[in-house]
């Protein structure tokens, strides 16, 4: 299992395609960008980097059932700490 350290984005969850867990995959922001990690099976995947197209965040906000505005706000708060 790959360990990712960062800040969990509250409310951003989806079902896991690896183990089938419901609402077990969470988004994590760190200095590398956004990662997803399943709390049940530990599957971890890189989702978005700081230099990537911001339009992809709209897709991620839909998949993780979080508003685009809240996702952007969380990223900005993390980035400017």
d(CA 15, CA 23): 5
For residues 20-32, give the mean pLDDT. Answer: 95
Is-contact 9 27, C-beta < 8 A? Answer: yes
Say how far apart CA 22 and CA 27 lie, in whole Å: 14
| DSSP secondary structure letters along the chain | -----SEEEEEEEE--TTT--TT-EEEEEETTEEEEEETTT--EEEEE-TTS-TTHHHHHHHHTT--HHHHHHHHHHHHT-
Confidence at residue 15, expressed as pLDDT on a 0 to 100 scale: 97
Which pTM was predicted? Answer: 0.88
Structure confidence at residue 81 (pLDDT): 62
């Amino acid at each position: 299992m790959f360990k990712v350290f960062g800040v969990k984005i509250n409310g951003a969850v989806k079902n896991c395609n690896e183990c089938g867990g419901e609402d077990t995959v969470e988004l994590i922001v760190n200095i590398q960008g956004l990662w997803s990690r399943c709390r049940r099976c530990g599957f971890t995947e890189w989702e978005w980097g700081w230099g990537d197209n911001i339009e992809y965040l709209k897709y991620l906000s839909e998949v993780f059932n979080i508003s685009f505005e809240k996702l952007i706000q969380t990223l900005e708060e993390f980035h400017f700490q």
